């Protein structure tokens, strides 16, 4: 798909695919680092969260506004297209883990994925009318970033989405 062909519907479909592939990636990383209970738990929890997010985007596809209703949002659509262009979000490479050598590599790559996803979802929100579901997903991605940074910086334990500093 060419970037200029990205519509809101296609962006939501891409988001569902990204979440599915990210869940697979995190499951593979949990398995790859199963000898490290903390790291395996972080990736297992992320995999569960991403799997749930995929179904949320499928729900958003129901009742989607007509593309003609987005005529006044061309600038926001351009930003959405730009955010979708991130190599980190390429579904073909998302489920690959052969380039991950160390736990730190895995955490850094997960952090980059979560940051790119956050930008994509924030851009998506700019195109859509108010959506508490997109707001929730954005907040979840922010927590993922915070958690990954916490593990990278302090080697702390991750206890799920309700974990606080």
Q: How many CB atoms lie within 10 A of CB 5?
A: 8
In the chain, what are the domain boundaries? 3-154
CATH tag, 3-154: 1.20.1260.10
**Residue entry with tokens 């869940």:** 23
Would you state the pLDDT for residue 48?
92
Name the phi and psi angles at 75, rounded to 5: -65, -40
| pLDDT tens readout for residues 52-110 | 888 888 888 887 766 656 667 788 888 888 888 887 778 777 767 888 999 888 999 99
């Amino acid at each position: 798909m060419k970037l200029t062909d990205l519509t809101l519907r296609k962006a939501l479909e891409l988001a569902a695919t990204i979440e599915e592939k990210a869940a697979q990636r995190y499951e593979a990383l949990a398995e790859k680092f199963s000898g490290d209970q903390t790291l395996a738990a972080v990736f297992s929890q992320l995999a569960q969260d991403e799997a749930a997010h995929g179904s949320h985007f499928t729900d958003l596809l129901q009742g989607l506004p007509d593309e003609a209703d987005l005529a006044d949002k061309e600038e926001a659509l351009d930003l959405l297209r730009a955010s979708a262009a991130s190599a980190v979000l390429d579904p073909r490479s998302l489920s690959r883990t052969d380039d991950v050598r160390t736990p730190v590599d895995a955490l850094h790559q997960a952090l980059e994925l979560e940051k790119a996803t956050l930008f994509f979802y924030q851009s998506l929100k700019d195109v859509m009318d108010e959506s508490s579901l997109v707001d929730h997903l954005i907040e979840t991605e922010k927590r993922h970033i915070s958690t990954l940074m916490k593990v990278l910086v302090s080697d702390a334990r991750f206890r799920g989405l309700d974990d606080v500093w």
